[in-house]
Structure 1
Amino acid sequence: MERSVRRFPAESRALGAGRTTIALAQASILLFTPASHLFVPVGGAETEVSCTPPVQSLSLYCLAESADRQFLNWVLLALLLIVASGILPRYTTVLHFWASLSIGQSISLPDGGDAVAQVVTFFLVLACANDRRTWHWQRSRTGPRDELRKGSVWQGLAWAGWWGVRLQVAYIYLNSALAKLPVGPWSEGSATYYVARMENFGAAGLLDELFRWTTGITIIALLSTWGTILAETLIAVFLVRRGSRQALAALISGALHVLIIVQIGIVSFGFIMVGAVVCAASRGIDTYAPRFTSLLPRRARGTDGGRAVVGEARPERVGVSGG
């Protein structure tokens, strides 16, 4: 365990990319949805924000209860854009968790993405506890003082937080896959046929007719239904494995949610899940992304005839730094 903790890349550009993806997905909710649509009467109740202590009372909408909710939306939007920029990750993770808590605990019509973001950003506060960079897009530092920092208690907290993200996200996907098995349309292989034809939650947009037609073909309906269950299971299993399997989990998650977004929408939810998987798979991505880059043509890697272009690191240096 000590060896694993010291080897953990607390300064990870992959983890930063996941954080940015989650923050931008949340920002899209506040940017494109007015407060009048986020705070609505539910079940005949008044449009009120629950401020039950200790958790819900920490929401911005409770701390500034008398303020205009649209103005508070803009405040949270600004915070999320600051987080997405990658500045001071060790500190902005706290702001990110607070923004996620405010959204997930206060709006009237949350979706699964809000709940996932709330839990994942909590663990990210720990996972970024030893990240001393100015921007999370910078390479990890490897000086003598940085080596000493790898034995600090902050490094242990960061390692534990990253494991929290891995286990939580893996559980979400495994639970989703297993919960589908006893449901008739999923076990029979016809779920995507019915989902594409739901009145309020079906295929929409430019490709709605295409998806209705393709899901009407039996073999495609079977493959897309059971393929969803298989993809979720593989993501869960690969996230708790090592190395390249973690990176593969991120690729499967990206493909799965992009297809769902194109077919039925739920854009913010899809990108929150992709960002969460990238955070959970960050160590594998940090390790294998440079190896993938080394397979690209020289010009795509920023080299010309074996000479590095000014301002670019050589591929082998990138591999050593590990992200």
Structure 2
Amino acid sequence: MERSAWRFPAESRALGAGRSIIALAQASILAFTPASHLFVPVGGAEIEVDCSTPVQGVSLYCLAGSTDRQFLNLLALTLLLIVASGVLPRYTTVLHFWASLSIGQSISLPDGGDAVAQVVTFFLILACANDKRTWHWQQPNSEEEKGSIWQGLAWAGWWGVRLQVAYIYLNSALAKLPVDQWAEGSATYYVARMENFGAAGLFADLFHWATGITLIALLSTWGTIFAEGLIAFLLLRRGSRQAAAATISACLHVLIILQIGIVSFGFIMVGAVICAASRGIDSNAPRSKSLFSRTRNSTRGIHSSVPTDPEPASKTDAVTLGA
């Protein structure tokens, strides 16, 4: 364990990418949803924000009192865009957690993605404790303080993200097993046809048709359970297996987004998995880049080895040949 913490790369572009995806997903909620829909009106007046607990009391919407909530939404949106830019990751993780806490604890109808973002951004404060870059897209510094307490905090924070996200997917997979529709393989058929939560938009007819085919309904239902369990398993493995978990998560949630929407939730989960798999993604990136380079070079070699058409004979040569 001590050796693992010592060698842990606290500065990570993959972790930064995950943070940016989460922040942009949260920003989309505030950018495209008016305050009147986030704070559900009751009897013609906006509902009061619950500030009864110490955790709720530090929310932006509690600290600001009676300030216009649409203005507060714009302020939180600005904070999230600053986080997404990647500037000063060691410090903006605190702002990210505060914005996540404010959204999750104060809006009237938070979803699962808001809850996940609160937990993940808390651990990201620790995971980025030893990240001294100005911008999280910069090349990681090979001379980090790997013997410092900040390095230990970063390692513990990354493990916190990793274990939490793996648990979320494992719990989601296991929770589906006792449900009849999931067990018998018909869940996606019914989900696609739910009145308020079903397939909609450009691909609605396609998903209605596809889930009406028994084999596709079975594969998509049981495939979802299998994919969630596999993501949880791979996140607890090393190297390229973690990168595979991120790929599977992205494919799963993009399909869910295309079918039933819940865009912000989907991208928060994808970002969380990328953060959890960041060490594996970083370690696998040079191999992928090398493989791509070899493939490109071999392709160029094939093209260069193809003989070109001979130049046409000149008029003089043609006469000589005819003679």
TM-score (norm 1): 0.90
Instruction: Tell me the equivalent position of 2:86.
Output: 86
Q: Secondary structure at the match of 2:230?
A: helix
- 1:218 equivalent to 2:229? Answer no
Instruction: Tell me the equivalent position of 1:108.
Output: 108
Instruction: Tell me the equivalent position of 2:12.
Output: 12
Cα pair 1:22 1:276 within 8 Å, conserved: yes
Query: Which of 269, 286, 296 in structure 1 is aligned with 2:265?
Result: 269
Matches within 5 A, 1:198-209: 198-209=194-205
Moved over 2 A (4+): 41-46, 297-301
| Counterpart code for 2:77 | L
Structure that is richer in helix per residue: 2
Q: Distance in 1 between matches of 2:185 and 2:147?
A: 51
Query: Which of 158, 161, 164 in structure 2 is aligned with 1:162?
Result: 158
Q: Secondary structure at the match of 1:99?
A: helix
Instruction: Tell me the equivalent position of 1:311.
Output: none
Instruction: Tell me the equivalent position of 1:197.
Output: 193
Q: Distance in 2 between matches of 1:22 and 1:247?
A: 18
Deviation of 1:205 after TM superposition, in Å, equals 0.7
Cα pair 1:14 1:279 within 8 Å, conserved: yes
Instruction: Tell me the equivalent position of 2:290.
Output: 294
Cα pair 2:36 2:46 within 8 Å, conserved: no
Cα pair 1:41 1:108 within 8 Å, conserved: no
TM-score (norm 2): 0.90
Q: Deviations over 1:173-199 (max 9, x none)?
A: 000000000000000000000000001
Q: Secondary structure at the match of 1:27?
A: helix
Query: Which of 156, 180, 187 in structure 1 is aligned with 2:183?
Result: 187
Runs (5+) with no aligned partner, structure 1: 306-323
Cα pair 1:23 1:96 within 8 Å, conserved: yes
Q: Secondary structure at the match of 1:249?
A: helix
Q: Distance in 2 between matches of 1:283 and 1:126?
A: 15
Matches within 5 A, 1:1-323: 1-41=1-41, 47-143=47-143, 146=144, 149-297=145-293
% identical aligned pairs: 81
| Counterpart code for 2:279 | R
Deviation of 1:142 after TM superposition, in Å, equals 1.7
Cα pair 2:39 2:46 within 8 Å, conserved: no
Runs (5+) with no aligned partner, structure 2: 302-323
Deviation of 1:296 after TM superposition, in Å, equals 1.5
Distance 1:15 1:256, change over 3 A: same
Deviation of 1:53 after TM superposition, in Å, equals 2.5
| Counterpart code for 1:262 | L
RMSD across aligned positions (CA)? 1.8
Q: Distance in 2 between matches of 1:99 and 1:175?
A: 26
| Counterpart code for 1:141 | N
